[in-house]
Structure formats: C-alpha cells, structure tokens
Amino acid sequence: MIRIDKYLCDNAGLSRSEAKKAVLSSKVTINNIPVKRCEAKLLEGTDTVTLNGDPIIYEKYSYYMLNKPSGYVSANSDSREKTVIELFSSEKKKNLACVGRLDKDTTGLLLVTNDGELIHKLISPRKNVFKDYLVTIVKALTVEDIKALEEGVDINDPALTRPAKVRVIDDNNIILSITEGRFHQVKRMLIAVGNAVVKLKRISEGSLKLDDSLSEGQYRKLTPDEIDMLKAL
Ligand code: URA
C-alpha cells in the first residue's frame, strides 16, 4: 500500500507539494471516489487513480533521459563531487542510478533509471549498440587517422578498440560512433591518432537520441516508445 500523494509523485511526475495540493483541491480519485486526505492509501497496480479526470497509470520503474552538464560525476553519491543524481528532485531520486558513465567533463545523453535489470543488460560489454559522440578535436583528422579509428586503435589495453565509425563535420568536429564503453575511451582513441579531445558530448545511444529541447542539467521521462526501444537493444 502507498499514500496517494507519494503515488502521484512516482507516477504523475508531481512534486510532493504539487501532489498534496492536487489532493486537497479534490482533483484526485481512487477507484472513482474523490480523495481529500493525503494519508489515503491505495494498492499500486490494482486500485485506479485519476488526476483531473485523467488516469494515472502505475509505473513500476522510472526511466529518464538527462542532458548531463559538465562538472557532475555519473554516480549516486560522492563525498567531494556533485553527482548527476543530485539534479533530480528529492521525490524522484530514490534508487535512481545511471546507465553507464560519462566523464565529469562530458555532456549529453545519460540514461537514469531505477530498473536494475535494464541497467545490467545495457552496460553489458557484449551489447553491440553504437553510441554516438560529438567530439571537438584540436586538429583535422587525416584519411589515415579515420581509417585507424574505424579499424581499431591501440589505447594501451590488452585488445585494440572495436571497429568505430567516423563522420567528419569540419576540421575540428567529428561524430565518433563506438560500441564499447572503456574508461575514457573516446579521449584515448583520439590520443592514439595523435589528436586530443577539446569537448565531448554524447548525442545518441542506439536509436535513442538526446532530446534537443533539453538544456544541460534538464531531464525528462522517456516515452513508452523510447522505453520499448531501450528494452529491445
Ligand atoms: N569516452 C570518453 O573518453 N569519455 C566519456 O565520457 C565517454 C566516452
């Protein structure tokens, strides 16, 4: 059983104070009966809830797309650094974790969820999912550099990097697509061809694209289609 105000926070994306206000102003029903007390309880997945007449469906898990800002570490807690989970409101952040990691100075698409099984599936090294990075580099790549990056480069690991794709935008900007997620991989790949990363932003993961309308630090819930897409990866 769960309190109605908590249910609204979890499933309708309201803050605790918005949820309380909605209940107190008679906008909420449980099993078609208006509720007036925030202490009222319901059985998730069994009882039906409406807010302003619209059904609020029980969601076991939450899935968010975050446009990660620079200066935040991809962790749940850190004694010295700001973490991406701190960007979520306190009602939402319980049990949330990042799907993989981006470096502190990397920006862009980071998935955040409390679905541990999906996290485990998506970060498995066996996944052959391309992740696209918009990379600002110090100098233009040569044809040989592109060939090396696409075939696999030595980044001082036991194995060469897996085949990648390079799309040149201009002398200082490329899109590099890789299927692995080794430590500082993109930066080390560029160093391996005598170049260096100035700025790094992840723009997609498989068919999931970073939403252009999210500015750095903003997040939104994934749509049902996006969640299905992720589960199918
Ligand atoms: N590669 C890097 O070097 N850093 C990231 O944050 C992601 C990929």
Give me the residue spans of the domains in the chain: 2-55, 63-124+211-231, 130-205
Residues with CB under 6 A from ligand 1: 102-103, 106, 184-187, 200
CA of 185 to the centre of ligand 1 (A): 5
Instruction: Write out the catalytic residue numbers.
Output: 103
- Dihedral over alpha carbons 99, 70, 88, 220 (to 10 degrees): -70
pLDDT at 51: 96
CATH class for the domain made up of 2-55: alpha beta
Residue from 123, 153, 184 to probe ligand 1 pocket by mutation (most atoms less than 8 Å from CB): 184
pTM assigned to the model: 0.86
Residue nearest to ligand 1 atom 2, measured at CA: 184
CATH number of 63-124+211-231: 3.30.70.580
pLDDT at 124: 77
CA of 197 to the centre of ligand 1 (A): 10
pLDDT at 91: 66
The Cα–Cα gap between 79 and 77 comes to: 7
Bridge partner list, 209: 204
| Residue 103 CA, closest ligand 1 atom number | 6
Four-way CATH pick for 130-205: 3.90.550.10, 3.30.70.1560, 3.30.70.980, 3.30.565.10? 3.30.70.1560
CA of 200 to the centre of ligand 1 (A): 7
pLDDT of the chain along its 233 residues, tens only? Answer: 999 999 998 888 788 899 999 999 999 999 999 999 999 999 999 999 999 999 999 988 989 999 999 999 999 889 999 999 999 977 667 789 999 999 999 999 999 999 999 998 888 767 789 999 999 999 999 999 999 999 999 999 999 999 999 999 999 999 999 999 999 999 999 999 999 999 999 999 999 999 999 999 999 999 999 999 998 88
CA of 233 to the centre of ligand 1 (A): 21
| Residue 202 CA, closest ligand 1 atom number | 7
Q: Cβ distance 160 to 152 under 8 Å?
A: yes
Residues for the chain: how many in total?
Answer: 233
Is-same-fold flag (2-55; 63-124+211-231)? no
Query: Token digits for 1?
Result: 């059983």
Residue from 84, 104, 106, 189 to probe ligand 1 pocket by mutation (most atoms less than 8 Å from CB): 106
| Residue 181 CA, closest ligand 1 atom number | 8
Query: Token digits for 223?
Result: 């749509």
- DSSP letters, the chain, are -EEHHHHHHHHH---HHHHHHHHHTT-EEETTEE---TT-EE-TTTS-EEETTEE----SS-EEEEEEPTTEESSS--SSSEEGGGGS-TTT-TT-EESS---TT-EEEEEEES-HHHHHHHT-TT----EEEEEEESSPPPHHHHHHHHH----SSSSPPPP-EEEEEETTEEEEEES---TTHHHHHHHHTT--EEEEEEEEETTEEPPTTPPTT-EEEPPHHHHHHHHH-
The Cα–Cα gap between 168 and 185 comes to: 19
Residues 6+ apart with CB under 8 A from 83: 72, 73, 74, 75, 76, 77
Q: What are φ and ψ of residue 189, in 5° steps?
A: -65, -40
pLDDT at 156: 97
